[in-house]
Amino acid sequence: MQSDGGATCMEIEKLASEVNHASLEPRPRFAPLKAHEISDGQIQFRKINVPQHRYTPLKKAWMEIYTPIMDQMGIDIRMNPKARKVELKTRPDTPDASNLQKCADFVSAFMMGFEPKDAVALLRMDELYVDTFEIKDVKTLHGEHLSRAIGRLSGKGGKTRIAIENATKTRIVIADTKIHMLGSFANIKIARSSLCSLILGSPAGKASFSNGLLLLLLLLLRQTATIAALTNESLKGVKQSGTSLLCAT
């Protein structure tokens, strides 16, 4: 509307300028719209359900959740104990329109089971995602087989899961039959494939599992390098390694 108006004004202005040069006004420069204004001054809400098993952890970790959201994101957050929901609300001085969504993701990530300090990465980085899949999506297992599969996934004392987390720079939460992964897209992919192989039965021994994992990582590295080279980002080290890799292949 305004643009049209602007256009028309500009046309008129142009014509007018041709008529009288002296009485021109500078183009108006408008400040970017605030989040608030984008939504037409309406306050937006998000409500995230709190599962029972996360109730107490929420209570414990409330400040860790509360502080970044309130201070850095500029989103109001409150806990509705009666409804057992965490409510998020935008403020007029919320810096970015997407903050609310990010905060909502952050809180839901926490509800999935991730640690607050891991989930905070969602607030800080854009490209991190949370992916969920179930064991039954991969392979239909019942009873003991299922239990064993879950055991295989987590490993003794969680070491297999931790190994995957460290290798792929992701965070994994195994909630019974659901598996949640938090990380960048490619890393999640690798983690998912390794987890799937574990579900399908590959023993999490040293050689087979780690080899596969590392191979995938190497693949990922190459891919990222090529992508970086192609996109000409200013990642000097990666660029060099990427080109060398390209020459080698």
What are the residues binding another protein (CB under 8 A)? Answer: 115, 117-121, 123-125, 128, 158-159, 162-163, 165-167, 169-171, 182-184, 207, 210, 213-214, 234-238
CB 217 within 8 A of CB 191: no
Question: Token digits for 112?
Answer: 């999935």
CB of 159 to another protein, least distance (A): 4
Closest to 174 in 3D by CA, of 206, 151, 201, 144: 151
Find the helix or strand (DSSP H, E) in which 65 lies.
helix 62-67
Q: Least distance in Å: CB of 227 to another protein?
A: 13
Q: Are 103 and 120 in contact (CB under 8 A)?
A: no
Helix (H) / strand (E) containing 230: helix 206-231
Q: What span, in angstroms and rounded, lies between the C-alpha atoms of 61 and 225?
A: 38
Q: How far is the CB of 240 from another protein (least distance, A)?
A: 11
Nearer to another protein, 138 or 163 (CB): 163
Q: Which is nearer to another protein, 119 or 135 (CB)?
A: 119
**Which one, 10 or 217, has the nearer CB to another protein?**
217
Asked if residues 35 and 97 have their Cβ atoms less than 8 Å apart, the reply is: yes
Of 16 and 163, CB closest to another protein: 163
Beta-ladder partners of 129: 183
CB 157 to another protein: min, Å: 9
Give least dist CB 71 to another protein, A: 15
Nearer to another protein, 77 or 106 (CB): 106
